[in-house]
Every structure is written in C-alpha cells, then in structure tokens.
C-alpha cells in the first residue's frame, strides 16, 4: 500500500464519526448544498435499470443512499472504501433493501474486482489524496464495461477565471485545492470527456465514457 493510502486510512479511521457533519459544514461555508452538488454528480452517471454501480471511496455512504433513491431499479450498488470505520458508519445507516448494496474494504489503485463488471463508476471526494492517481484511474476504467459512465469529483479551483473570496481562502489555507483536475491522467479509453465546476466553484466534476482501448 502506498504511503499516502496508509495516511488516508489512519486519517479517516479517526475522522469517521465527524465526517458527515464536517461535510455539511464545508458545503455551507462554500454557500452550496452538499446534497444538491452530490445529485449533480450522480445525474452524470445516467443510471439505467439493472445497472451495476460502483462507488470508489464511498465513505459513510451518503452517495450510495442518494443513488439507491435515484435508481431504485438498478441491479446493485457496491461501495468501496479504504477505511473500515467509514464502512461501519455506512452500514449503520438505513439503506434500502433494493437494489442490493455491498460494501468492500479496499483501495482505488488495486480494485478487487474483475474486468468490465460495472455499468457506472462514481468517485466523489478524496482523489487528491490517492498515492498513485494514474493507476487509480486505470483501475476504474478496467472494472468498467465499454460504454460505462465514469464520474470523478474532488476539491479544486479553476485556473482560468477570477476566484471568489472563499476559493482564494481555501487555496491559501488548504494546499489540496491547488491540484488541477486530472485530465492528463485519464486512461486512453476515456471518451467524451467533460469538465465542469460545482460546489461554489471549489469542486470539479469530470465525467467521461469508457471506450475500448
């Protein structure tokens, strides 16, 4: 396991109990609704009935709950996270019984799934902390079928426009916001790549289709 993943696991093990509260507070400080921003990312997955959906770094399961509600006819949802404590918080939440939900402990750069098994893959928050970002994206593409929708969201600010005060403050106080969207790390199979900004301009939303290499 990469040193960054070891640090992330330790961090989220300690932070699991406060994670949901901290996310809500961060969204309020940015002047946005965390739920609304998450739903924007989920909408880009274009979920269909019977789809098999993977969330990488699923945390306490907030997005899994929203996806279950948005696509009640999906085939299944799988949440993967590096922190056992975060997965425990997820299990404690009142999930729907259908579509079925499975939770897996693991890391993004070594996904424990076969090739081409998911119809959609979501990652929402934490990409900047991955030790091997290129491999994580390659793994996400590997487990997604041809034509699958892949959505990657994380903190960051655009470099081509004037930033609002909150974004300038985030850049000064949290170095992680200075990392650009990983467009240069996308696998060769990425097709129809789109990049937009959400979260009051402090999060990027990158989505693409998984083509054949």
The enclosing domain of 49 has a CATH number of 3.40.50.150
Domain count, the chain: 1
Q: Where is 112: in which H helix or E strand?
A: none
**Rounded alpha-carbon distances, angstroms, from residue 48 to 43, 71, 201:** 11, 7, 29
Can you name the residues that pair with 78 across neighbouring β-strands? 54, 102
> Are 113 and 86 within 8 A, CB to CB?
no
pLDDT one digit per residue (tens) for the chain, 213 residues: 555 666 676 677 777 778 888 888 888 877 788 899 999 999 999 999 999 999 999 999 999 999 999 999 999 999 999 999 999 999 998 877 778 999 999 999 999 999 999 999 999 999 998 989 999 999 999 999 999 999 999 998 888 878 777 778 777 887 788 888 999 999 998 999 999 999 888 899 999 999 865
Q: Which residues contact 38 (CB under 8 A, 6 or more apart)?
A: 62, 63, 66, 124
Nearest to 123 by CA among 112, 139, 101: 139
For residue 38, the enclosing domain spans 3-210
How much is the pTM?
Answer: 0.92
Query: What count of other Cβ atoms lies within 10 Å of the Cβ of residue 145?
Result: 15
Q: Give the Cα separation of 15 and 13 in Å (integer).
A: 6
Q: Give the Cα separation of 201 and 196 in Å (integer).
A: 9
> Counting every residue, how long is the chain?
213
> Terminus-to-terminus CA distance in the chain, angstroms?
27
């Amino acid at each position: 396991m990469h040193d960054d993943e070891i640090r992330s696991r330790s961090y989220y093990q300690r932070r699991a109990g406060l994670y949901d509260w901290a996310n809500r507070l961060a969204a309020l400080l940015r002047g946005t609704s965390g739920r609304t921003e998450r739903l924007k990312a989920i909408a880009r997955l274009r979920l269909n009935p019977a789809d098999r959906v993977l969330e990488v770094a699923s945390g306490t399961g907030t997005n899994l709950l929203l996806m279950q509600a948005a696509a009640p006819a999906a085939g299944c949802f799988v949440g993967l996270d590096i922190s056992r404590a975060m997965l425990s918080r997820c299990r404690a939440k009142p999930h729907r019984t259908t579509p079925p939900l499975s939770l897996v402990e693991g890391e993004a750069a070594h996904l424990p799934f076969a090739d081409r098994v998911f119809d959609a893959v979501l990652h929402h928050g934490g990409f900047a902390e991955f030790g091997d970002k290129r491999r994580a994206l390659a793994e996400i593409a590997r487990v997604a079928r041809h034509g699958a929708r892949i959505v990657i969201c994380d903190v960051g600010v655009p470099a081509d426009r004037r930033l609002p005060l909150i974004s300038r403050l985030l850049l000064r106080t949290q170095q992680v916001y200075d990392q650009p969207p990983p467009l240069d790390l996308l696998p060769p199979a990425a097709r129809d790549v789109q990049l937009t900004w959400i979260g009051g301009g402090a999060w990027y939303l990158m989505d693409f289709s998984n083509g054949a290499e």
